[in-house]
């Protein structure tokens, strides 16, 4: 039964991950993704895709990463988003079981995957996504509060305020989208883990930035999206933050 539930959440995640790809890519362009007839299409030849071309991950592999119509390469973002969402949904079940926090886990993953796709594609974190998930996060944190309960409040204020100060001091070194995202992250993660997420995001971002410059993929001072690093750091903090914070505190004692 346990294995079947893990497989179920993996399949659910890959299926929803396919939809999150569409949302992340269309919402910044103000394209519809929810009306009848808004089926997925090839971004190159605009051909609408049949159902067998939309099977998460598998269709990409069978078609060799190319559109069946125009033979144009399909972005690796599509199968990557689907696979990661599936794995993270499965991890949410493994980590929390059939408890209230599972709903937070899959919703948190859902929001972050849409933001990952949107920011890596357009360097934009849509306000509508944050506003859509925020009420649900508040409700779940009321039903399943952190310990202590006020950690969500201090986490939200700290996450928002920290980036706000950085924006003021750096005169735009980070965006308002990052600031609002960290406010939402603080609500979900709490005070300690939102600080951890910020530290990890900076560490991962600096490392990747240096590697990209060494490989001459980007130039010095060329802007790169910070959202994907925030997403990775937030997921690490959410699933493994308690153990990481406990390990760090043990070093100080």
The CA-CA-CA angle for residues 114, 116, 122, to 5°, reads 95
The candidate with the shortest Cα–Cα distance to 229, out of 189, 192, 199, is: 199
Distance of alpha carbon 113 from alpha carbon 250, whole angstroms: 33
Q: Is the pLDDT of residue 39 over 70?
A: no
Give me 68's structure tokens: 């069946």
Distance of alpha carbon 195 from alpha carbon 121, whole angstroms: 26
Per-residue pLDDT of 2-24, as tens digits, reads 999 999 999 999 999 999 998 99
Q: What is the mean pLDDT of the chain?
A: 88
Per-residue pLDDT of 45-75, as tens digits, reads 766 766 566 678 877 787 777 777 677 777 7
Distance of alpha carbon 177 from alpha carbon 227, whole angstroms: 9
Contact 179, 213 (CB under 8 A): no
**Mean pLDDT of the 201-222 span:** 86
Residue 162, SS3 per DSSP: helix
Per-residue pLDDT of 159-177, as tens digits, reads 999 999 998 887 766 788 9
């Amino acid at each position: 039964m346990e294995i079947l539930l893990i497989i179920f959440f993996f399949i659910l995640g890959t299926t929803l991950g396919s939809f999150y790809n569409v949302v992340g890519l269309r919402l910044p362009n103000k394209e519809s993704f929810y009306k009848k007839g808004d089926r997925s299409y090839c971004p190159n030849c605009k051909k609408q895709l049949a159902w067998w071309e939309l099977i998460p991950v598998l269709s990409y592999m069978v078609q060799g990463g190319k559109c069946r119509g125009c033979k144009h390469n399909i972005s690796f973002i599509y199968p990557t988003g689907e696979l990661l969402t599936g794995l993270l949904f499965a991890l949410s079940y493994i980590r929390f079981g059939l408890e209230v926090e599972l709903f937070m886990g899959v919703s948190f993953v859902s929001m972050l995957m849409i933001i990952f796709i949107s920011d890596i594609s357009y360097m934009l974190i849509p306000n509508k996504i944050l506003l859509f998930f925020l009420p649900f996060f508040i409700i779940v944190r009321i039903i399943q509060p952190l310990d202590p309960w006020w950690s969500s409040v201090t986490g939200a204020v700290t996450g928002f305020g920290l980036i706000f100060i950085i924006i003021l001091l750096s005169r735009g070194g980070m965006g308002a989208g990052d600031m609002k995202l960290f406010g939402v992250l603080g609500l979900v993660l709490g005070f300690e883990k939102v600080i951890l997420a910020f530290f990890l995001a900076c560490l991962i971002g600096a490392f990747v930035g240096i590697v990209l410059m060494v490989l001459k993929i980007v130039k010095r001072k060329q802007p790169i999206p910070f959202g994907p690093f925030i997403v990775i750091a937030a997921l690490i903090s959410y699933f493994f933050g308690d153990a990481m914070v406990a390990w760090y505190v043990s070093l100080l004692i």
